[in-house]
Structure 1
């Protein structure tokens, strides 16, 4: 089995390059949809929502399958397969002449998008329980760093040609796949593998199976609402800031780059230290309340410069996710990490199905011509309420779980 430190570095680089490829297209995909929709912003908002929902639906269906396959054959082939699928997806997006091709590309990418669940299982494989919060923080840091360079470069390239960022994303992702094919080691020892079972691969049954661990099942609901709230960024950020503040792709890119910088600092540098001091349970509360406050402020900000100040304040939300993942991973055995992470990824996918449709629909409704009073921040207020509800579910989960399950690391 791979030694922990090199393995985490490998998975960190893999996720960084993968997220960089995603980040490159964030500032331009909604603009491409708007272009293919003939410049109709309201129609584009709905289409962006449905594209995100279709992508997430494919993840929901296939994540438990890929998670269980990683428990049987190892994490490495699942990660490499998902990278290859993503590279093909970006090429299809780059050449897509109609909306139908965009929908097809999202299906392909959704089916193969197992990086997060496989990477989470990978971290659980190679880190001791007391260091998992910091390990999962590295995943968040990889996302953050990927979003520093990705949106900034995507915004700059997209200002000249909307298609160019998709080709760049394809090249980066396929390079990542080639890198992993040669140097990414396997993390799951043969003695910790288990036979593939369609029972654990079924998305609904995989979610129901989480009931075997009360703390896992309880925190799964918290995780769902947290992801539902956080998914407002990819679903609405471009459209919202463009409508309310007149931002172009460059400004969107720089703002998301700042989000990435702070996410990297918080999750890679601060999360482990903060959680070691205050404990994972309190860390979940702090992260969720920080997210709720940030979402409310985004919806209320009437000047574009305020967004940058809110990004700084809201960065504290970054400690919540590694704390939640760490507590969940500690509650399950080594040979079921892939299945459980696949189930959690399905939960993320359900949130991903609902979030683009819900947030873009709220935004579209709130700015419609027939509205006498327009409230463009309505969707962000909804995301704030979702985060507060997540706090309630976490509190309920800790009360219901056995005391030893919620002891601080």
Structure 2
């Protein structure tokens, strides 16, 4: 592992811990404003709405300013937004603050650009696995902290302490980036031309494999985000869980992702290639969604969410690694930013829609999500495997 990578992984862990700390609180924090499933879906979607602009802007900007400066500045401002969120006076103010927070937290493409800077193409899947492990550790820790420090009553004061902790995590990540992180490649500087949006669209559109990877990521992450959004409401109705139980249940989500990243993804990618690992991940996602309303037991509810994260952690880091490996260095920032923005659009559109579907029938989102994943696997995943196999066969042997 490149010695410049661990400081980034620490920053990712701290930042994601702060971000994920909020997730199990949102369904209950929304009830402070008398929000229904659709409005709670909007709270989830608002963050991703900001991400759309943040991922594209900061991914490109990091090519010019450098990854370190962008990460330090954005995580600091995102931390401040959490403190504002704790005192939101209305639902719409809370949604607006979540948009701002999402914009300044839209730096996963910057982190992935840094990974591309320090890892050769043949090691990128494994390096993305380290990134995913740091992500999953943050996802495992954050919700537990949120659940422990949340109050029992559905009033704003019950949620302020965990939200303050989330803000402190983000500011800590900013300080860490400023002091410890070092750019692997010198920034281009202010005089360098900014990449054009249409160039990234044109580049992706000209590559059949990339088009399919974008399609898989868009619909797959949209379905996953929707399950996160309705899980709190669904588990409250079926199991009587509060923010405390939901926070601990999220350990399974982080644990499943960590297991996939540390144990599964490297050997599977080495043996079968990233494209087939994507298909395995999509199958696991669909099965875990399908079984959730069928089994309907608290233990199964936790284990299946862990399995859901296993599928997520196999499919989408592999898609990112395969995309990065088929993207030239000068286009890494813009293309990865476009991917993150595309994923964020899925997170914007899907959670409110699935919230409305939840209001119609509380089990329907699980079945719809499973069907969506299965359809994407058939229409885009199978052809992505064929294209990837053909490219590997045509590549000159070393």
- Return the TM-score normalized by structure 1: 0.88
Distance 1:405 1:91, change over 3 A: farther
- Paired residue for 1:124? 116
Q: Does residue 271 of structure 2 align to residue 262 of structure 1?
A: no
Q: Does residue 347 of structure 2 align to residue 352 of structure 1?
A: yes
Superposed CA deviations along residues 206-259 of structure 1, whole A, max 9, x for unmatched, are 434411332112211111111112112431121111112111112111111121
How do 1:147-158 and structure 2 match up within 5 A?
147-158=139-150
Q: Find the partner of 1:323 among 318, 326, 336.
A: 318
Name the SS for the 1:28 alignment partner.
helix
- Paired residue for 1:218? 212
Distance 1:181 1:322, change over 3 A: same
Output the CA distance in 2 between the equivalents of 1:307 and 1:62.
33
Q: Find the partner of 2:298 among 300, 304, 324.
A: 304
Q: Does residue 355 of structure 2 align to residue 363 of structure 1?
A: no
- Paired residue for 1:46? 38
Distance 1:208 1:34, change over 3 A: farther
Output the CA distance in 2 between the equivalents of 1:194 and 1:362.
50
CA contact (8 A) 1:78 1:114 kept: no
How do 1:5-404 and structure 2 match up within 5 A?
5-37=2-34, 43-159=35-151, 161-190=158-187, 195-197=192-194, 199-200=196-197, 206-317=200-311, 318-366=313-361, 376-392=362-378, 393-399=380-386, 403-404=390-391
Superposed CA deviations along residues 183-218 of structure 1, whole A, max 9, x for unmatched, are 111123457999343622x6xx64344113321122
Name the SS for the 1:14 alignment partner.
helix
Distance 1:174 1:406, change over 3 A: farther
Output the CA distance in 1 between the equivalents of 2:52 and 2:188.
28
Output the CA distance in 2 between the equivalents of 1:124 and 1:75.
12
Structure 2 unmatched runs, 5+: 153-157
Give the deviation of 1:403 after TM superposition: 2.0
Structure 1 unmatched runs, 5+: 38-42, 367-375
CA contact (8 A) 1:292 1:388 kept: yes
Distance 1:210 1:290, change over 3 A: same
Superposed CA deviations along residues 8-53 of structure 1, whole A, max 9, x for unmatched, are 211111111111101222222221111122xxxxx43121212232
CA contact (8 A) 2:357 2:364 kept: yes
Name the SS for the 1:247 alignment partner.
coil
Name the SS for the 2:3 alignment partner.
helix
Output the CA distance in 2 between the equivalents of 1:323 and 1:12.
18
Distance 1:193 1:382, change over 3 A: farther
CA contact (8 A) 1:68 1:196 kept: no
Distance 1:234 1:73, change over 3 A: same
CA contact (8 A) 1:123 1:135 kept: yes
- Paired residue for 2:155? none
CA contact (8 A) 1:90 1:169 kept: yes
Output the CA distance in 1 between the equivalents of 2:41 and 2:394.
40
Give the deviation of 1:400 after TM superposition: 5.4
